[in-house]
Amino acid sequence: MANSSNSISVEGIDAAYGAVRVLENVSLRVGSGETVVLLGTNGNGKSTLMKCIMGWVRPNKGKVIAEIDGEKHDLSTLTTEQIVDLGIALVPEGRRLFPRQTVEENLLLGASRPKARPHIKTNLAFCFEIFPRLAERRGQLAGSMSGGEQQMLALARALMLNPRILLVDEPSVGLSPLLVARTIDAIGQLKEHYKLTVLMAEQNFTQALRIADRGYVIVHGRIEFEGNSADELNNNDLIRQFYLGM
Ligand SMILES: Nc1ncnc2c1ncn2[C@@H]1O[C@H](COP(=O)(O)OP(=O)(O)O)[C@@H](O)[C@H]1O
Ligand SMILES: [Mg+2]
């Protein structure tokens, strides 16, 4: 049987925008089938780390290794398109939908990966099953939907790529507390259904830890704390008080 192990290892990366250093010696690992959360408030480097994994930002030091179906790939040698083709999908911060295309068109545009094309029909059906709201609104322009609906659509669109590894960048941004909870629940369900390996960046500590197996706290571009369980992160008063302002 084929090895179905899918994991990500970020190994000691530094990243900068020109002279602005943003990530410093960041290492983290997401094991096969795990849901790992990267916790941190605004401006601490969460999105930059996601961009490094996707090849949008190139680290100055260190590397990112992805294991897809048991085979290892050094992502620093690949283009973003090749990284997506491998089966790594990002739900970007702020959703980045095509606002003037319909819900269904956005989903079909998501299925650009060659390996995903044979599964378009079943994936679309599953997206509509798990998000009935998207089915009802399949002909509606994406830009005219509510924030929560747009986040569901952004998640569904990433799933149309048939990914092995899903990166989700701050799904809670701009959503009401109820919708944050629903979005986080949906990520948990999708992960189970597709047996995904998930790395999620979040500021919403409490919500993220409902589905995370474990996590890291990033402060000023450095990993300051690693919790080996959600409880370990939950029960760390120092983190709550100082890093997350709770
Ligand atoms: N394109 C960019 N050019 C210059 N600086 C940037 C750019 N993107 C992000 N930064 C800076 O990098 C730091 C980390 O940003 P980011 O990775 O977006 O953090 P987070 O996602 O945790 O909010 C911030 O200080 C931000 O201002
Ligand atoms: Mg961000």
Express each pLDDT in 47-74 by its tens digit.
Answer: 999 999 999 999 999 999 999 999 999 9
Q: Which of 48, 216, 219 is the pocket-test mutation for ligand 1 (most atoms within 8 Å of CB)?
A: 48
CB 40 within 8 A of CB 66: no
Is residue 246 very low, low, confident or very high in pLDDT (cuts 50, 70, 90)? low
* Mean pLDDT to the nearest integer, 137-163: 92
Which numbered ligand comes closest to the C-alpha of 168? 2
Locate the ligand 1 atom nearest the alpha carbon of residue 218 and give its number: 22
pLDDT at 38: 96
CA geometry: angle at 62 spanning 59 and 64, to 5°?
80
Nearest one of 195, 153, 200 to 172, comparing CA atoms = 200
C-alpha of residue 51 to centroid of ligand 2, in Å: 10
* Mean pLDDT to the nearest integer, 108-113: 82
Closest-CA residue, ligand 1 atom 1, reads 17
Task: Say if residue 131's pLDDT is above 70.
Answer: yes
205 or 168, which is more confident?
168
C-alpha of residue 22 to centroid of ligand 1, in Å: 7
Q: Which of 13, 14, 21, 22 is the pocket-test mutation for ligand 1 (most atoms within 8 Å of CB)?
A: 22
The two three-digit tokens of residue 137, written as one number: 């609104």
Report whether residue 19 contacts ligand 1, using a CB cutoff of 6 Å: no
CB 208 within 8 A of CB 202: yes
Report whether residue 2 contacts ligand 1, using a CB cutoff of 6 Å: no
- C-alpha pair distances (Å), 59 with each of 131, 170, 175: 36, 21, 31
Ion ligand 2 — residues with CB < 5 Å: 46-47, 93
Nearest one of 66, 58, 45 to 201, comparing CA atoms = 45
Give, in words, the CATH class of 7-243. alpha beta
* Mean pLDDT to the nearest integer, 88-109: 92
The two three-digit tokens of residue 122, written as one number: 């079943």
* Mean pLDDT to the nearest integer, 83-111: 92
Report whether residue 20 contacts ligand 1, using a CB cutoff of 6 Å: yes
Question: Domain limits of the chain?
Answer: 7-243
Distance CA 164, CA 238 (A): 34
pLDDT at 245: 62
pLDDT at 115: 81
Is residue 244 very low, low, confident or very high in pLDDT (cuts 50, 70, 90)? low
pLDDT at 194: 85
Express each pLDDT in 186-225 by its tens digit.
Answer: 899 888 888 899 999 999 888 999 999 999 999 999 999 9
pLDDT at 162: 87
Task: Say if residue 243's pLDDT is above 80.
Answer: no
Distance CA 211, CA 189 (A): 9
Report whether residue 47 contacts ligand 1, using a CB cutoff of 6 Å: yes
